[in-house]
Amino acid sequence: AYLEFTAYSTVTYGNPSMRIRGVADDDASDFHPGRRNRLRNLPKTSGITWSMPDFYNNYTYRTPDVSNIVKQIVDRSGWRSGNDMAFVLDDFVSYRGAHTYNNSPSKAPKLIVKFNGSATPRASATVREHLISKIDELSANGLTPIVDTLLEAANYYGGRDVDYGRKRGESDVSSSVRRSTRVSHRSSYIGADSILPSGCSEDNLSDRDCITEQIPTPASYISPVSDLQCQTNNHIVLLSDGEANNNHSVSKIQTLLGKSCTGSGGEKCGLDLVRNISEASTSVIGPRVITHTIGFAANNTANNFLNQLALQSGGGFYQADNSTDLLEAFNTILRSVKDINATFVSPGVAVNQLNRLTHRDELYFALFKPSEGAIWPGNLKRYRLSGDEILDKNSLNAVDSVTGFFAENAHSYWSTLADGSEVSEGGAASRLGGNRNIYVFNDTGSIVRSANELHENNTNITNTDLAIQGETDADALRDAILKWTRGLDVKDSNGDGSTTDYRSQMGDPIHSQPIIVN
């Protein structure tokens, strides 16, 4: 257990410390200011001393372990789950400053406890429930500034200055709309905290007093993209129920793109922006970002613009008229986002052991493709290195300059046909067959012998060895497991109707790296 404090200022001088004790009470009550000597007269637990480090504004800091203090309270005979506990901080040396609940509820000191045992069901909200509750605090109010929204999303991906996210709207926007609007999240940008007007608190950000909340300048977004070559699979999902209007971004986008825009009214510049940032070679913000759109109970005019946004960006457009349609649209988008081929593994190259300044031109890539299931297809493919280019077996450039992955017409070595960017096609996986020497071994002595052969005909491998002796029809299950393990397509994963052919399948090598043995 520990207490967590959030610094409200940067202080790096002195050798500060303080004592931490608990209130020895079954259910602590509040410290009413009208009761003199309240803190001094309360019974206390034993305590600890915290020698505090340098404090930097808005960073969080943990105390040493306070488990013994917590235990002294919860071990009391009158303690019950859900009771309050209190801590007393005193014997201060030097100075450090932290947020209080009255100053900032979200940054108030917290007691963090990790324990073993049964938790009270539903005793606290999950992150999902908390998110839903925050969404429920908002009401649908205002106009449909689609182009403004897309520009702010582009600003975020590009790590540019916070623009529309600085305020809840200009002074000419109605107060009801501004009450339903929020500034950018504190974790999304570098800069100072938002300024809450008098009468506004984080407990009720929809209060009328909060409409002039704003983030001081300068403030710039923290881009989620740190590697432009590897992080090319970035997406925006725009959900709208109406026609684009209230467009304040025409001049801003034209300046950003360095040219005039197409379209008119509320739609002007929208297509130009999403088209530009969808190509790595042209993106003025740096990252490549694909835009998907969903029209929720929208009319034909709105849906047509949303469809054009998706088409120009390479994303998908989806119509939804109810919650079921909306859920399916989001699921489809998430499936398409995950359905990409990738390699996070360093390639392997053969180096001359006698002259480390020379190497062979063989280049090996371990590849994988994320999937919804537990089995992610993988492969090992060979290409050729020529200067700073990666070539296929036909001496053509194997890499697509736009996606950063292998080109659709690339033909890797070992592949009968062009395998392009498809991980499961060709490569070493295509060379796997039935004549493989596979042994299972859990003993001393020689490994390579018939008693260790991985095969369903090997009676030395029993149902008990596979921990399936209690399963229904364990013998048939044993045979299926061993056939699958040695490469037979017992589940007909290729859909050819046969369960006795061999799978051209490798697992994902996400935690592996090809090593060349010359």
DSSP, residue by residue, 465-492: TTT-TTSTTHHHHHHHHHHHHTTB-TT-
Query: Percent of the chain having pLDDT more than 70?
Result: 90
Do 440 and 461 lie in a common domain? Answer: yes
pLDDT top residue among 39 and 317: 317
**Could you give the number of structural domains in the chain?**
4
Give the pLDDT of residue 474. 93
The predicted structure's pLDDT at residue 393: 93
Strand order in the sheet with 60-62: 60-62, 2-6, 110-112
Please state the rounded mean pLDDT for residues 254-272.
Answer: 96
Q: Is 424 part of a structural domain of the chain?
A: no
Q: Which of 87, 101, 25, 8 lies closest to 50 in space, CA to CA?
A: 87
Whether residue 444 is found in the same domain as residue 415: no
516 C-beta neighbours (distance < 10 Å), count:
13
Q: Are residues 270 and 317 in the same domain?
A: yes
Same domain, 249 and 313: yes
Rounded to whole angstroms, how far apart are CA atoms 338 and 105? 37
Q: Let me know whether 247 and 301 are in one domain.
A: yes
Listed residues 373, 390, 419: the one ending a domain: 419
Tell whether 381 and 362 lie within a shared domain. Answer: yes
Using one digit for the tens of pLDDT, what is the confidence trace for 323-349? 888 889 998 888 888 766 655 556 666
Beta-strand pair 317-320/289-296 = parallel
Do 414 and 438 belong to one domain? no
In a domain, 159, yes or no: no
- 2-27 average pLDDT score: 92
CB 294 within 8 A of CB 306: yes
Task: Looking at the structure, tell me whether residues 465 and 440 fall in a common domain.
Answer: yes
Domain end point (choices 112, 131, 152) = 112
Q: How many CA atoms lie within 13 A of 201 on its CB side?
A: 11
Taking 80 as the threshold, does the pLDDT of residue 235 lie above it?
Answer: yes
Answer positive or negative: Cα dihedral of 196, 198, 201, 206.
negative
Look at residue 151 and tell me if it is in a domain: no
Question: What pLDDT sits at residue 508?
Answer: 84
**Closest alpha carbon to 97 in 13, 9, 18, 193:** 9
476 is a domain residue: yes
Residue 318 included in any domain: yes
3-state class (DSSP) for residue 146: helix
For residue 444, being part of any structural domain is answered with yes
Query: Strand 2-6 and strand 60-62: pairing?
Result: antiparallel
Report pLDDT for 120: 54
pLDDT band at 31 (very low <50, low <70, confident <90, very high): low
Range 360-379 average pLDDT: 80
Last residue of a domain, one of 45, 78, 112: 112
DSSP helix/strand/coil, 328: helix
Average pLDDT, the chain: 87
Between the CA atoms of 275, 281, 286 and 291, what dihedral angle is there, to the nearest 10 degrees?
Answer: 30
Q: Give yes or no: residues 28 and 72 share one domain.
A: yes
Q: What percent of the chain has pLDDT over 90?
A: 51
- Is position 154 within any domain? no
Q: Please give the Cα distance from 352 to 385 (Å, whole number).
A: 15
175 located within any domain: no
Distance between CA atoms of residues 156 and 222, nearest Å: 7
d(CA 291, CA 305): 13
Residues 367 and 379 sit within 8 Å (Cβ to Cβ): yes
Tell me: do 10 and 104 sit in the same domain. yes
Range of the domain at 320: 227-337
Identify whether the C-beta of residue 394 lies closer than 8 Å to the C-beta of residue 402: no
Closest CA to 364 of 474, 512, 470: 512
